[in-house]
Amino acid sequence: MIKAVYFHIPFCSHICHYCDFNKVFFKGQPVDEYLQAMEKEMKHTMEAFPTDQLDTLFVGGGTPTVLEMKQLDFFLNSIHKYFPFTVGEVEFTFEANPNELSKEKLRMLKEAGVNRLSFGVQTFNDELLQTIGRTHCEHDVIRTIEMAKEVGFTNISIDLMYGLPGQTLEQFRDTLEKAFSLDIQHISAYSLIVEPKTVFYNLMKKGKLLLPSQEEEAEMYEEAMKQMEMHGYQQYEISNYACPGFESRHNLTYWNNEEYYGIGAGAHSYVNGTRNVNAGPLKKYIQLIEQTHFPYIESHTLTLEEKMEEEMFLGLRKTEGVSKQQFAQKFHRSLHDVFAEPVATETQKGLLEETETHVRLTHRGKLLGNEVFQAFIGII
C-alpha cells in the first residue's frame, strides 16, 4: 500500500544560481490552470491507484509558498479532497523561502494539517547568499522561524549548503553555530553540485566559478558531522540530521525504496513497480492531463535485479544501512547471495562494514558514498 505523496509547485519569484529543479518564474504563468490540472491528476491517480491512508505528504518546488492565498487555499483543498490522511497522524511538509511567508499563510498551512516546514536557508552569510542568488538574509530566517513557532509549528527543518563559491571552513562553522541557536528539529546539509543549465554551470565553463577544493569540502562535511553530534542531532542519512524522533518520514520513503505518488510538472512517482516521470513544461503537463489523464513522458517497470540494486544504493544512504532481514523478505534471497562480491570489495577498501543485522557505510565510506553506490550497479 502506497503511503507517501509528493506534490510539485514549480513557481519561484526568483531563480537561484545553483538550482536545476523544474521551475519557472511565478509572474505571467498559468498558475490557476496549473493547479486545476494538478487536481485532475490527483483525482485520476487515486482512481487508478487507490490507497487507504497516507503516512507522509511533501510539497516541494520551486517555492510552494509563492502561491497567493486563494491559490494556496485551492491547492490545499484539492489535497484534502483526493488524498486520505488523518490530520495530526501524518507528516505533512511544506517547503518555503524564509522571506516569502506571512503569518496569514502560516496559519492557513497549519489549519490545513501542515505540521512540518522546510526552509531553504543554505547559509547565514549574507554575502554568500547574494553570491548564490538567494533573496533573503540572515535576519529573514530568524524572523520567519520565530513567526512559525508563534503560529504553533514544532517540527521545523532547514537546508544548508557547503562547498559554495569562496566559502571558507570558518564561514561554514559560523553558519552551523547560527543554525543550532534556532532550536529547530531537523537540518539537511548538502554539498554544492554544479548542474547543467544553471547560472553556476555557465560561470564554471567560463572559468569564473571559484569553488573550495575537494579537501576543503570534505573538511566542511566532517565539521558538519562532528558539530551535529555535539549538538544532539543524529545523522540518519548521508546529508540529514535530526533530533530523536524528528527524522523526515517522507525522505525515508525514498531511502527505504518504498513506493510513492508524484503529482505535478516534473514530478517522479514509483507505483506498482513502475517509475514514472511527469512532463516538466507547464503547457505540456496540462495538455497531457487533458488528453490522457496522466502526464507521464517516461515509464519504466523495474526488473527484480534493478529493484535489488536500488535497495542497496538507496538504503546505503541511511546511517543504519541496508537491513539484511528486510532485503531477504523483499526479494526472497539473502543480500550476500546477490552482492557478496561488492560487499567484500568495499569492505576491504574500508568503505563498508557489517553488523549482525545491517550492511552500512563506514565513516570514510560516507565521504566516498557515490563510489560505493556505483559498485552495486550493473553487476547482477
Grid cell listed for 121 = 536557508
Q: What is the arithmetic mean of pLDDT over 88-108?
A: 94
Instruction: Name the average pLDDT for the chain.
Output: 93
264-323 pLDDT per residue, tens: 999 999 999 999 999 999 999 999 999 999 999 999 999 999 999 999 999 999 999 999
Kindly report each contact of residues 321-325 with a partner whose C-beta sits within 8 Å and lies 24 or more positions away, as own/partner: 321/355, 321/358, 321/359, 321/360, 321/361, 322/358, 322/359, 322/360, 323/357, 323/358, 324/357, 324/358, 324/359, 325/357
Residue 201 has pLDDT above 70, yes or no: no
Q: Break the chain into its structural domains and give their ranges.
A: 4-255, 304-374
Grid cell listed for 45 = 491517480
Residue 21 has pLDDT above 70, yes or no: no
Asked if the domains 4-255 and 304-374 are classified in one and the same CATH topology, the answer is: no
Does CATH place domain 4-255 in 3.20.20.140?
A: no
Q: What pLDDT was estimated at residue 262? A: 98
Read off the pLDDT band of 207 (50, 70, 90).
confident
Residue 25 has pLDDT above 80, yes or no: no
Grid cell listed for 293 = 489523464
72-82 pLDDT per residue, tens: 999 999 999 99
152-198 pLDDT per residue, tens: 999 999 999 999 999 999 999 999 999 999 999 999 999 988 778 76
DSSP secondary structure letter of residue 323: E
Q: What pLDDT was estimated at residue 13? A: 73
Grid cell listed for 215 = 579537501
Q: What pLDDT was estimated at residue 16? A: 66
Grid cell listed for 18 = 545553483
Residue 22 has pLDDT above 70, yes or no: no
Grid cell listed for 360 = 552500512
**Distance, CA of 321 to CA of 236 (rounded, Å):** 9
User: Is 117 in contact with 93 (CB distance < 8 Å)?
Assistant: yes
Q: What pLDDT was estimated at residue 206? A: 81
Burial of residue 149 (number of CB atoms within 10 Å: 0-12, 13-18, 19+): middle
**Distance, CA of 11 to CA of 22 (rounded, Å):** 9
Q: What pLDDT was estimated at residue 17? A: 59
320-334 pLDDT per residue, tens: 999 999 999 999 999
Give the domain 304-374 fold.
Answer: Arc Repressor Mutant, subunit A (1.10.10)
126-162 pLDDT per residue, tens: 999 898 888 888 999 999 999 999 999 999 999 999 9
Residue 18 has pLDDT above 60, yes or no: no
Query: CA–CA distance from 76 to each of 62, 83, 110, 117 (Å)?
Result: 17, 11, 11, 15
In the block, residue with C-alpha cell 555557465 = 202
